[in-house]
Amino acid sequence: MTPHDDLPAPVTRTPRRRRRMTDAIVVGGGMVGAAAALALAHAGMDVVLVEAREPRPWHPEDEVDLRVVALAPSSAALLDELGLWQTIRTTRAHAYTRMHVWDAESGAALDFDSADVQGDSLGWIVENRLLQHQLWQKAQVAGVRCLCPAKVSAFENADDHVHVSLEDGTGLDAKVLIAADGATSPLRKLAGIATRGHAYEQRAVVAHVATERSHEDTAWQRFLPGGPIALLPLADGRSSVVWTLPEADAQHVLSMDDSAFCEALGVASDFRLGRVIAPTPRAAFPLKLQLASDYRAGRLVLLGDAAHVVHPLAGQGVNLGLRDVAELRDVLRSAHDAGRDVGTDHVLQRYARRRRSADTLDGRAFDALQRMFIWRAPAMASVRSLGMTTMDRFGPMKKWLMQHAAGI
């Protein structure tokens, strides 16, 4: 027996593999989340996109999606930088060159024309599903690592990274975590970020309709006591309806047969496009104002609906989200190109401060407009009439408003 016979045999340990450190994890593969993942990949960053379910594919032979967005020139410019605007524009997007807004009670009106800002159009009507499909496909081609189906169960901020746990037990590490997971954002709740705002007790009823007269490449919007109604021009000659109504009225409109719905829609739109015919099935969604109290918590940042939900009367919801994307891309790219940590307080606070200020200002402005138009006191009708008439006649003010809506 040797002196070492009573010692335990040596144990061979396999070294723990260090988890791959990525630059950014984007949670939420909707339009804004997919755009953020693609934009950061284009900026040279390593990106992981986490999504609970893969977007439904879009096909040219599909019926036009009931949910459409009015993309501003700033959004088109971002999509062009990301290499997919030409495809979207020539697929089934439709440009509108004018917008006519009028008040049902006072009769006052505002007219906007792209020629006033020396542009080809004021914006483009694009199907939600088309836009999301193109962004999702392009993100994967650009090298974004897509984890789907997958859900985040927890995250933890560390000094130099953020650790993310998925429900299936997978662990991910990144320099920054981006919450683009919608209005009910589980990540925002995990971070303890509060929101403020209120429900409008209204629903937006959506449908597509044919009309007796051409939409004239014009977005038509009439403000009624119960909420605005918009007729947005589609590429196939029909119009997309977005009709904001109090809850009870919305339920009544949803229950109408097609003939009664067409008649009610014609009355609500003042028969501006003549008789309404051939409606699609209708859908409705509730409306609210919701603004996050902060856009960041450690290495987590919010963007899109996770950060702000606004009234759709100005059609700016997705445009605000894409402006969030552009700002975040610019801020992170600047730090990344300089070899700095993209998730530091200094870097992320710059994004959070700028976008929270801009989004809050716009959200409150839309809220004030909504309140102003549903207030039925005779004095308010006179104020609205004077204000709209003055703005329509005062070129510089109207031009500034168009430029702001365009993201210029």
358, 308 in Cβ contact below 8 A?
no
CA 342 to chain centre: 24
Quote the percentage of the chain above a pLDDT of 90: 77
User: What pLDDT, on a 0 to 100 scale, did the predictor assign at position 11?
Assistant: 36
Q: What is the pLDDT of residue 408?
A: 66
Question: For position 372, what pLDDT does the model report?
Answer: 79
Res 13: pLDDT: 36
Between 216 and 114, the higher pLDDT residue: 216
Residue with tokens 């988890």, as numbered in its chain:
19
Q: Are the beta carbons of 221 and 229 closer than 8 angstroms?
A: yes
CB 292 within 8 A of CB 195: yes
Arithmetic mean of pLDDT, 290-316: 95
Q: What is the pLDDT of residue 377?
A: 65
Q: Buried (b) or exposed (e) across 319-342, using 16+ Cβ within 10 A? A: bbbbbbbbbbbebbbebbeeeebb
Average pLDDT, the chain: 91
pLDDT tens digits, one per residue of 89-148 = 999 999 999 999 998 888 888 899 988 877 789 999 999 999 999 999 999 999 999 999
- Are 240 and 253 in contact by the 8 Å Cβ rule? The answer is no
User: How sure is the predictor about 278, in pLDDT bands with cuts at 50, 70 and 90?
Assistant: very high
Q: Confidence band (pLDDT; 50, 70, 90) for 351? A: very high
Average pLDDT rounded to a whole number, residues 301-309 = 97
Which of 142-151, 255-264, 395-404 bottoms out in mean pLDDT, i.e. has the lowest?
395-404
Confidence of residue 309 (pLDDT cuts 50, 70, 90): very high
Which whole-number Å values give the CA distances from 22 to 176, 180, 332, in the listed order?
Answer: 9, 17, 13
pLDDT at 292 over 60: yes
- pLDDT-derived band at 1, boundaries 50, 70, 90: very low
pLDDT of residue 17: 41
| 5: pLDDT strictly greater than 60 | no
Q: Check whether 262 has a pLDDT greater than 90.
A: yes
Residue 155 has pLDDT above 90, yes or no: yes
What is the full DSSP assignment across 21-83? EEEEEEE--SHHHHHHHHHHHHTT--EEEE-SSPPPP--TTSPPPS-EEEE-HHHHHHHHHTT
- What is the tens place of the pLDDT at every residue in 188-206? 999 999 999 999 999 999 9
| pLDDT for the residue numbered 368 | 87
Cα(157)–Cα(31) distance, rounded to whole angstroms? Answer: 26
pLDDT in the model for residue 390: 77
Q: Does the reported pTM lie above 0.85?
A: yes
Q: The tokens of 256 are what? A: 């109408």
Q: How far apart are CA 193 and CA 127, in angstroms?
A: 31
Tell me the average pLDDT across 159-176: 96
**Arithmetic mean of pLDDT, 49-55:** 94
Contact indicator for 373, 223 with CB cutoff of 8 Å: yes
* Amino acid at the residue 266: G
What pLDDT, on the 0 to 100 scale, is given for residue 8? Answer: 41
- Distance CA(67)–CA(385), nearest Å, equals 31
Nearest to 331 by CA among 309, 355, 348: 348
Contact call for residues 103 and 351 (beta carbons, < 8 A): no
Q: How far apart are CA 263 and CA 367, in angstroms?
A: 29
pLDDT value at residue 190: 97
DSSP label of 7:
S
pLDDT at 397 over 60: yes
| Rounded-to-integer distance, Cα 331 and Cα 232, Å | 34
Cβ–Cβ under 8 Å, residues 19 and 172: yes
